[in-house]
Amino acid sequence: MMSNTKRNAFWSFFDRIGQLPTFLIWTALICVVSMLASYFPLWVNVIVNVLLPVLVLLKLKMVMFEKLKLSTLVLMRALILLPIFGIMSGELFVKIVLVFLVINCMEATLTDLLKNHQPYNFVTGLVLSLSVLTLAGKWFPEAAGPFTGIYTANAGPRADALFVSDQVVVIGTICWLVAYTIWNWLFVIGEFSPSIGYLHIGILSSPIISILLTMNPGYWLVFRANSLTCGGVFQIYCKDDIEKKLENEKLAAFIEKVKSPPAQIVLMILNLVLIAVPVGIYFGII
């Protein structure tokens, strides 16, 4: 880990440049690292999203949700090595990824109900978790050369098997990821401080920026998994410094308004409408 002298120099740099440039730099770094980890699961992913998180899990104290979430993310980032080395089929791995997506969504959904007292976001999370079953995954081996591989997750009409579709419907994929992004940020601001909510604007923006750069919304899930893992490690390891650097009264006031019941109801309705698109496509209604 970083020495105190280097750590102080690192944070003093961000003191000098100000809050918004700091946020933009962190977002850009998370975006770049997550894209590299997505395309190079052996060379980049293992170091950034497996070894570093394991060190953090072993050495640092964290809240139970952080430990649970980081553990499941690390497991999936390590499991990707199995299809890379031909030990597991890529298609089976992608199905496991989608099952773990359901589990991860339900972890946050139950936390919203039992701890954060956000009943409207709980409803969204429950529907969102179930809607994962309407997504279809696909594995692309050696997408960036030997010992690489990447996967997509898209909306599409129902096929004979779960998590499989013969057709990709881009608008359904976009609606689903937008609903997830809104829902997840509402969870974050209910679970953590406004400063961490500020950080997660960047973490949640990262996979969206990445799919805009690649022009493929299907890559959103792999970019999200990697950005959440590396961003989560950064959050846990540097939480006290992040709290100070991203403290923002205007954002804190905005978050309080967003957490109000009327705003939560409106956002729940919006999310349910968005989720209805991929679900309708799956069942042939749309």
- Domain ranges within the chain, ordered by starting residue: 19-282
108, 181 contact by CB (below 8 A): no
3-state SS, residue 136: strand
CA distance readout (Å), 165 to 5, 25, 160, 170, 217: 53, 38, 8, 13, 16
pLDDT at 178: 98
Q: How buried is residue 284: exposed, middle or buried, by Cβ count under 10 Å (0-12/13-18/19+)?
A: exposed
Predicted confidence (pLDDT) per residue in 180-228, tens digit = 999 999 999 999 999 999 999 999 999 999 999 999 999 999 999 999 9
Predicted confidence (pLDDT) per residue in 157-175, tens digit = 999 999 999 999 999 999 9
Question: Given its phi and psi angles, is residue 139 left (phi above 0), alpha (psi -120 to 50 degrees) or beta?
Answer: beta
Please state, in angstroms and rounded to a whole number, the distance separating the CA atoms of residues 22 and 32. 15
The lowest-confidence range among 7-11, 144-148, 261-265 is 7-11
pLDDT at 142: 95
Q: How buried is residue 87: exposed, middle or buried, by Cβ count under 10 Å (0-12/13-18/19+)?
A: exposed
- In total, the chain counts a number of residues equal to 286
Report the predicted TM-score, pTM, of the whole model to 2 decimal places: 0.95
Q: How many CB atoms lie within 10 A of CB 138?
A: 17
**Residue whose entry in the numeric block shows the structure tokens 């940020």:** 185
**Does residue 29 register a pLDDT over 60?**
yes
Mean of all residue pLDDT scores within the chain = 94
Shortest CA distance to 71 belongs to which of 222, 236, 212, 197?
236
Q: For residue 64, what pLDDT band results from cuts at 50, 70 and 90?
A: confident
Predicted confidence (pLDDT) per residue in 33-43, tens digit = 999 999 999 99
Predicted confidence (pLDDT) per residue in 249-283, tens digit = 999 999 999 999 999 999 999 999 999 999 999 99
Helical H segments across the chain, by residue range:
4-17, 19-39, 52-59, 64-79, 81-84, 90-111, 119-131, 170-191, 194-214, 220-237, 239-245, 249-258, 261-282
Give 264's contacts (C-beta < 8 A, 6+ positions apart): 118, 120, 121, 186, 258
Local structure of residue 283 (DSSP, 8 states): T
**Does residue 5 register a pLDDT over 80?**
no
Shortest CA distance to 200 belongs to which of 181, 226, 177, 225?
181
Please state, in angstroms and rounded to a whole number, the distance separating the CA atoms of residues 235 and 5. 20
- Taking the CA atoms of residue 20, residue 25, residue 34 and residue 132 in that order, the dihedral angle to the nearest 10 degrees is 10
